[in-house]
Amino acid sequence: MMGIPVLCAVLLLFICHNQSLEVKQPVFGSKRSQEDVLVGPSSCESRTQQQVFTNPHNFSVEIRMNSVAPAVSDTYLCMAFPMPTRDAYIVDFIPHASMDTVHHMLLFGCQTPASTRSNWDCGSVPGTCEDEASILYAWARNAPPTKLPKGLSAKDLTSNKVLSLVSVLCGLMSLFSVSSDVGFKVGKDSGMSYFVLQIHYGDVSAFRDHHRDCSGLTLKMTSKPQPFIAGIYLLMSVDTIILPGKRVTNADIACEYTSYPIYPFAFRTHTHHLGKVVSGYRIRDGKWSLIGRQSPQLPQAFYPANEELNVKNGDTIAARCVFTGEGRTYKTYIGGTSEDEMCNFYIMYYMDSKHAIPYMSCIETGSKQLFRHIPAEASIPIRVSPAHMNSVVHMEHSADFQDNRSLLGTNKADQFQDKDYHLEPVLAWPQSSLQLGQVSGLALDTNSNLVIFHRGDHHWGSNSFNSQARYLERSLGPIQQSTILIVDTAKGNILQASGRNMFYLPHGITTDKENNYWVTDVALHQVLKVSSDGRDTILLALGEAFTPGSDSKHFCQPTDVAVDPKSGEIFVSDGYCNTRILRFSPKGQYLSEWGAGSSDRRRRVPFRVPHSLVFLADRQEVCVADRENGRIQCFIAETGEFVKEIKKDEFGGEVFAITYSPAGDGLLFAVNGDSPYHSAPIRGFIINYSSKDILDTFSPNKKEFKMPHDIVETRDGSIFVGDADSKTVFKFTEKLHRSVKKAGIQVQELQEMETIVQTKLRPEHNKTAAFQEKQNKAQQPPPQKEEKEEEEKKSGAKHNRGQGLLPAIITTLLLVPLLLVISLGVIICWRKNNQCEVKTDPTSVGEIFGKIRGKAVGTLNLGNFFASHKGYSRQGFDQLSTESSDQEHNDEDSSDSDNEEYSALPPPQSS
C-alpha cells in the first residue's frame, strides 16, 4: 500500500521537473568575470544565443553587447536581437552587469528597431525603435533584480481554485529549477519582433585598462502558454508647471480602472532633478492602498510592490509626484531635457491571459477633492544620501522620454492646441527704451537673460556692397555703440553692454555652454567667438576679414551660427552669396559642409539665403530657415543627411528665422517676411516638428512686424522677436485666449452662439468629468442654493435668447437684397444665353459682395497669378536678395531701412 503513494509522488516530481525551467549556474571568478566583462580586447565576443533544454518548451536567450569599448562618458549603446518567430513568454530576467561599468540597462520590445547594425549610438539619433517601444525590463546600479511572481497569491488561489498536488510538489523543486505561470508575451502575435538592449555607460574610466564589455541579460523563456500575462501600466502627468522658488509642487494623476483584474507586483518611479518622492495607490471604497513609494533620486529600476493586492473594475489608480522649485529662476515644464521635468509611475502587473492587455496608461489630472484624502506619506520627501545621488538614473533618451512622447504627443503643443493658450504681446516690455539700431540677432545666455545683437548707427543699404560682395563702407569704421546688450527678460533692463568698435554689420548671434558669444558679421565675412565678460576678447576667428570666398577658410556674408552644447561643434549658415552649411570642431577646424536637401534628388532646389540656424539637442539635428525658398530644412548634425522639409503657404514664400523647443514632439517657432511674389501677413508661427502642422500664429497688436529678423524662446515659454526695420524687440507670453487657431483656421467663440448652443445641446462628459462628478456627490450644495442657481441660469438663458434674436433678424434682412441680386442675375443670364452656371463657392460669393461694395475684396498679386500657371519662372522677376525681401516699398511711411541688404549675388539656376 505504501508503494502506490511513493510511486505517485515520484511520478509527479518527474512531471514537474520536465515542465520547469532549468537554471545553469555559471562558474564565477573575478568580479569583472562575474559580470562577463572580459579584460582582453579580442576575447569578448557576442554571446547572443538560444539554449534549448531537455524540455523542448523551455529555453534561454542571452542578449549581450558585442565587445564594445565606449570612449566617451554618458554613451548610450543599443543592439537589436530578433525575437522567436513563434509565441514565447519571458518568465525571468537575469542581469549580467557590473555597477563599475554599466550605469543602467533597459530592454525594449518593438516591431522595427532604429538600426540593424551590430550596435549603434542610441542616446539621441536615431533612438531605439522606429515605432513605439515597450519597456520590458530595467536594471540600474545597486537596484534589486526584477522577479516575476508565481501568479495569484495562495489566498486568491484557495478561494477561487483547487491547489493541486502537482503545484505543491513543483514548488518544492524551486531549489534546483524555476517554475512560473506569469510571463511577458513576445514573438509572433505580440506585436513585437525585436528585442532592443540599451546600455548607458556613465563613467568610461573603467575602460582605461582597454577591456571590452559584454554586459547584458539572460532571458528565461518558454513557448508554453502562460496562464497569466505581464504588462505595464503607466501613470504620467502631462501639464505640471513647477514655479520658480516654490517649495512644494504636487503632480496628481488618477484614473478609474475599467477592465479585468490586474495584480501589481513591481513598480518604478521617474522624475528629473526636482522630484522628491513618487507614490502610487489603489483606491477602493474610499480606502487608499499603497502600491509603491520611492525617491526618484534612487536607482530607477523596478522594485517589488508593497502588498499583494489586485485592481478591479471600479477601482481608482492614483499617483503623486512631489517636486520643489527651490533654486530655479524659471518655470519648469514637463519635457524631455534635463532642464524639464517628468512625473512617471510605472506599475508592472499580471492578469489572466484570456483578457491580457500588455500596456495601459493614465494621463488624467486627479481632482483636488480626491487627493485631499491621500495618505500623508505621499507628501513626505525621502532623503537620499549624496552617494546615492551620484547613481541616479535619468533616462531622458530612454523609456520615460519615449513613453512621454508617445502619450503626450505634445507638451506645449497641448497648451496651444487643446487648452486655448495663445501667444500674446506684452505691451509694457521693455519698461524703458533700449535705443537700438537694426536688431539682427537674439540669443539667451546661461543665466536666461536676453542677448540682443544690433547695428547701432550702421545700415545695410543698396550701396553697402559691390557685385563681388565686398563691403564698400569700410571707411565709416566699426560701430562705436555697444552692439551686444544683456537684458533681463522680465522688465527689459540693460544688465551689461559690450561689443563697441568691433563690428561693421552684425547679423547672427548664439551662445555656448560656457556663455561665449558666437556672432556673424556680413561685412567682415567672418564668424567670431567673443567672450561675454564685457572685455570684448575675440577667442576665435573663422574666415578672413573683409575677404569673401567659398572655400573652407572663407565665408561670403555668413548669417548665423548654431552650437552643439554637448560636443561643442559649430555650424555656420553661409549665407547671402554661398548656399551651404559648414561644420567645424570646437577649436575651429573645418569638418564638413552640405547644401540643400530633398527627398527627391532630381528636384533638389539649392538654398536661397540660408538665413537662420538652430541646433536640436534632443534629436542631434540642425534646422535652417531657407529664407527666399520659404521653407525650413532639417539635417542630421553629424552627417548632414537630409531629414525633413517644412514648407507652408502661410509662410508667404519667406522664412527669416527659427528657434526650437524640445517640448512634446518638438516645437519650431518661426517668423516670415514680406515677399513680392506671395501675399501673406507677416507673423510668427508655432509648428509641431513631428507632424509639421501649424499650431498657432502670433503678431503684435498695436505695432506691426516690418522685418522680424530673429526669434528666441526663453525657458518660461516667452518668445522674443527682433525686428530689423522697426528697430524693436517684441515680447510674447502664453495666455488663455478665447480665440484659438486649429489647423490654420481661426475659430471665434461668440458668447451669444455659446448660449444658444448650450441651451439646446447637452454636453458630453468625458471620463474625467464623470469621475469627478462621482467623487463630488457627497458634497452637493444645499437644495435652496441649488434652486437659486437654477433660477439664475434660466433667467440668463432667456436674456441671452432675447439678445440672440436681434442679430438673426438683421442677418435675414441683409440676405434678402443679396438673394434678389442673385435672382436678377440668373434671369438676365438665362434670357441672354438660355443657360447660366451659378457658382456657390465662397469665392463667387466674395466677388458678389465685392461688386456690391463697389470694390474688390482682395488685390491682384502678379506673383501669385503667374505662379499659378505652368511654365512660370521667377527668372526676370528676381532682384538681388535683400534683407527686405528684394523689393522697394513705395509706402508713404517707409523708413530709410526699407532698402537694406541689397547684397546677395543672383541665385544659382536650379536644374
Q: Which helix (H) or strand (E) holds 634?
A: strand 631-636
- Known binder of ligand: residue 57? no
Residue of 83, 96, 104, 459 marked catalytic: 104
Q: Between vectors from CA 187 to CA 185 and to CA 193, what angle results, nearest 5°?
A: 125
First to last CA, the chain: 97
- Known binder of ligand: residue 210? no
Q: Rounded distance, CA 232 to CA 187, Å?
A: 17
Nearest residue to 513 (alpha-carbon basis) of 442, 615, 591, 660: 615
Q: Which helix (H) or strand (E) holds 6?
A: helix 3-19
- Known binder of ligand: residue 104? yes
Concerning whether 270 is annotated as a catalytic residue, the answer is: yes
- Known binder of ligand: residue 860? no
Grid cell listed for 66: 558585442
Specify whether the CB–CB gap between 552 and 590 falls below 8 A: yes
- Known binder of ligand: residue 454? no
Give 635's DSSP letter: E
Instruction: Indicate the length of the chain as a whole number.
Output: 911
Nearest residue to 157 (alpha-carbon basis) of 376, 308, 362: 308
Residue of 96, 103, 394, 458 marked catalytic: 103
- Known binder of ligand: residue 455? yes
Residue of 192, 236, 342, 707 marked catalytic: 342
Tell me if residue 233 falls in helix, strand or coil.
Answer: strand
Nearest residue to 398 (alpha-carbon basis) of 141, 135, 79, 82: 135
Beta bridge partners of 275: 323
Helices marked H in 766-868: 767-775, 783-833, 842-853, 862-867
- Known binder of ligand: residue 200? yes
Cβ-Cβ contacts under 8 Å for 560 (sequence gap 6 or more): 441, 507, 508, 510, 520, 572, 573, 611, 612, 613
Q: Between vectors from CA 641 to CA 661 and to CA 618, what angle results, nearest 5°?
A: 25
Q: Rounded distance, CA 587 to CA 777, Å?
A: 67
Residue of 96, 272, 397, 459 marked catalytic: 272
Task: Classify strands 75-82 and 249-256 as parallel, antiparallel or unpaired.
Answer: unpaired
- Known binder of ligand: residue 627? yes
Strands (E), 211-326: 216-222, 228-236, 241-242, 249-256, 263-270, 275-284, 287-294, 303-304, 316-323
Concerning whether 103 is annotated as a catalytic residue, the answer is: yes
- Known binder of ligand: residue 272? yes
Q: Rounded distance, CA 443 to CA 486, Å?
A: 10
Tell me if residue 812 falls in helix, strand or coil.
Answer: helix
Nearest residue to 195 (alpha-carbon basis) of 217, 180, 228, 214: 217
Q: Rounded distance, CA 705 to CA 721, Å?
A: 9
- Known binder of ligand: residue 221? no
Give 826's DSSP letter: H
Nearest residue to 608 (alpha-carbon basis) of 329, 376, 368, 905: 905
Residue of 79, 96, 105, 200 marked catalytic: 200
Concerning whether 272 is annotated as a catalytic residue, the answer is: yes
Q: Rounded distance, CA 679 to CA 862, Å?
A: 10
C-alpha distances in Å from residue 122, one per residue of 116, 401, 569, 621, 816 = 12, 13, 19, 14, 67
- Known binder of ligand: residue 869? no
How are strands ordered across the β-sheet holding 75-82?
A: 120-121, 75-82, 194-201, 104-110, 134-140
Nearest residue to 671 (alpha-carbon basis) of 612, 618, 733, 623: 612
Q: Rounded distance, CA 654 to CA 678, Å?
A: 9
Residue of 79, 96, 198, 438 marked catalytic: 198
Strands (E), 157-206: 177-178, 182-186, 194-201
- Known binder of ligand: residue 270? yes
Q: Which residues of 64-73 are buried (b: 16+ CB within 10 A; e: fewer)?
A: bbbbbebeee
Beta bridge partners of 745: 742
Residue whose entry in the numeric block shows the C-alpha cell 522595427: 112
Residue whose entry in the numeric block shows the C-alpha cell 433678424: 809
- Known binder of ligand: residue 96? no
Q: Rounded distance, CA 510 to CA 660, Å?
A: 13
Concerning whether 104 is annotated as a catalytic residue, the answer is: yes
Grid cell listed for 223: 513557448
Task: Classify strands 182-186 and 228-236 as parallel, antiparallel or unpaired.
Answer: parallel
Grid cell listed for 138: 530595467
- Known binder of ligand: residue 285? no
Residue of 96, 270, 394, 678 marked catalytic: 270
Residues flagged as binding site for a protein: 455, 576, 627
Residues flagged as binding site for Zn(2+): 507, 611, 709
Residues flagged as binding site for Cu(2+): 103-104, 200, 270, 272, 342
Q: List the catalytic residues.
A: 103-104, 198, 200, 270, 272, 342
Residues flagged as binding site for Ca(2+): 442, 710
Residues flagged as binding site: 103-104, 200, 270, 272, 342, 442, 455, 507, 576, 611, 627, 709-710
